[in-house]
Structure 1
Amino acid sequence: MKNTIKSTILATSILSLSASANADTSEQLTNKDKAIAVISSIETGNPEAINYINPNKYVQHNLAVGDGLEGFGSVLQQLPKGSAKANVIRALQDGDYVVTHTEYNFFGPKARFDVFRFEEGRIVEHWDNLQEIAPKNSSGHTQFDGDTTITDLDKTEENKTIVSNFVNTILMKGEMAKINQFIGNEDSDYIQHNPAIADGLSGLSVALNELAKANMPMTYSQNHKILGEGNFVLSISEGTFMNKHVAFYDLFRLGNGKIVEHWDTIEPIPEKSEWKNNNGKFGF
């Protein structure tokens, strides 16, 4: 009941704010702080967090949600009683963009990445990618555990380039002979949080071979965005998985010039006739 009241208060605040552009936003907080506050408000019901969204310009790329604050508020009002949960595990900031990696209960338990774009200290655009929470993988990792500490801020651009090259060379072109340019050979060199894949190159190889045998190869057709802060880099791509058109959000942790840890979500992209807005899944 408590969560229901909080969600109702927040939804009411959103729908009210959408009609007014006069709410002030705090100059004390970073954009990362504001993004975390908005995500957390889904559980806490804190109406102050809505001040961090521009009520006159909020472009929504979640295709199941209507555009603007009205769409966001409408979804919150539909949440089942007592279900709201939002625990931000990781957050990184890259220029005007903030990425959050969150454990949700939002119409069921989900792993989710959110990307927010800011203008003049307020959120003006939002993307996300969701996947059902699954049991631990065969290496004992969940979709959320692992390192959370951001380091190597001076290597942000270098690490973004490494991930961009990895996505292009390995995931898109399939030049697997070059894999050791990006990932070490030992299973301990690459910690895997995908629920269906074990640690190391051996785990990745087994999973890809099984998909190929089933005539359902995982293919990346286009990379849309690379965002990073220090040793964490998020790649946003589209392609095919289980014979469905999907969005791939891959979060990598890097160390000493190599990829050492990986989290992801894979979400099917619905047919356009089912979209609740016309902004598309990507549009960066």
Structure 2
Amino acid sequence: MSSKRKQQICELLKGIETGDPASVEVVNEAKYIQHNPHTQEGSIGLAELFQRLSLSNPRVNIVRVFEDGDFIFAHTEYDFSSSKIGFEIFRFENDQAVEHWDNIQPRRGPNPSKHSMVDGETKAVDLNKTEPNRLIVHSFIDEVLIKGRLNTLDHYIDGSNYTEHNPSMSDDLSALKASLSQPGSNGITYKKNHRLLAEGSFVLSVSEGYLNGVHSSFYDLFRVVDDMIVEHWDTTEAVPPRAEWKNDNGKF
């Protein structure tokens, strides 16, 4: 991890452990756009959040961190009063973060294949294939997850070498097919992809849809090798009702 911006974000997230307001100095308060609907705008909102969280003696582990242009995205473990797994996205202008998105869910698992929500490969390779890998995941999200063309699943996922980290599923693709085949009120429905961030072999997708009829945000991290998806991690979070938002920027 050589990027200055990556280091800045790691220091920011580790500030949750101490509640130190200095950890949020990387945030440009005048420009900062907060998309976590439970957090107020600006570094003051973050400082207050970090100070409150620090009272529960939290632990933060940054498992993976990647860079895509002006974006830093990280895969994290949080141990507050309970254990949670999250994805964090920050957009930079120069040396300061000016926009933030995240998606956090309670830790569950291990799954039927004995994988946790965060273990597996951590280092991005094949940096020269960042854009081709982004396009592969874009096509997979559009064709399989949004349009539901499950007969093309094998075109994208190497089933013989696939590792699944979703706590409810196994490496066998039958569980994924079954979940995507359920009616909208009983399974997973992807409606729109909002963002794809990539560094080498890793691609993070930010999508919107429904889980068992509940309006939800889906963050999916894929590892791509030789033009096939070989590993997957995710978090799902319900989008709160508009009346509960503490800012006006929306989840996406």
Distance, in Å, in 1 between the alignment partners of 2:81 and 2:97 is 24
- Please point out which of 232, 243, 249 is paired with 1:279: 249
Matches within 5 A, 1:253-264: 253-264=223-234
Q: Deviations over 1:143-190 (max 9, x none)?
A: 01001111000000000000000000000000111112101232xx21
Q: Is the 8 A contact 1:98 1:116 kept in 2?
A: yes
> Amino acid of the residue matched to residue 37 of structure 1?
E
> Amino acid of the residue matched to residue 184 of structure 1?
D
Distance, in Å, in 2 between the alignment partners of 1:66 and 1:139 is 39
Q: Deviations over 1:18-51 (max 9, x none)?
A: xxxxxxxxxx962111111111121245554322
> Amino acid of the residue matched to residue 236 of structure 1?
V
The percent identity for this pair of structures is 42
Q: What is the match of residue 190 of structure 1? A: 162
Q: Is the 8 A contact 1:197 1:207 kept in 2?
A: no
Instruction: Indicate how the Cα distance of structure 1 residues 213 and 97 shifts in structure 2: closer, same or farther if over 3 A, else same.
Output: closer
Q: Quick check: 1:152 aligned with 2:126?
A: yes
Q: What is the match of residue 233 of structure 1? A: 203
- Please point out which of 98, 107, 125 is paired with 2:99: 125
Deviation at residue 80 of structure 1 after TM alignment: 6.4
Q: Quick check: 1:202 aligned with 2:174?
A: yes
2:25 alignment partner, SS class? helix
Structure showing greater radius of gyration is 1
Q: Is the 8 A contact 2:140 2:156 kept in 1?
A: yes
Matches within 5 A, 1:1-284: 30-45=4-19, 47-79=21-53, 81-186=55-160, 189-208=161-180, 212=182, 215-282=185-252
Q: Is the 8 A contact 1:80 1:107 kept in 2?
A: no
Mean Cα displacement is larger for which, 218-227 or 107-116?
Answer: 107-116
Instruction: Indicate how the Cα distance of structure 1 residues 80 and 29 shifts in structure 2: closer, same or farther if over 3 A, else same.
Output: closer
Give the count of matched residue pairs.
251
Mean Cα displacement is larger for which, 137-146 or 66-75?
Answer: 66-75
Distance, in Å, in 2 between the alignment partners of 1:213 and 1:231 is 32
Q: Is the 8 A contact 2:16 2:54 kept in 1?
A: no
Distance, in Å, in 1 between the alignment partners of 2:46 and 2:20 is 15
**TM-score between the two structures when normalised by the length of structure 1:** 0.84
Distance, in Å, in 2 between the alignment partners of 1:58 and 1:215 is 36
CA RMSD of aligned residues (A): 1.8
Flag the structure with higher strand content.
2
Q: Is the 8 A contact 2:186 2:211 kept in 1?
A: yes
2:88 alignment partner, SS class? strand
Distance, in Å, in 2 between the alignment partners of 1:29 and 1:45 is 24
Q: What is the match of residue 24 of structure 1? A: none
Distance, in Å, in 1 between the alignment partners of 2:32 and 2:184 is 42
1:200 alignment partner, SS class? coil
Distance, in Å, in 2 between the alignment partners of 1:83 and 1:48 is 18
1:78 alignment partner, SS class? helix
Q: Is the 8 A contact 2:148 2:180 kept in 1?
A: no
Consecutive unaligned residues of structure 1, counting only runs of 5 or more, are 1-27
1:158 alignment partner, SS class? helix
> Amino acid of the residue matched to residue 112 of structure 2?
S
Distance, in Å, in 2 between the alignment partners of 1:215 and 1:117 is 34
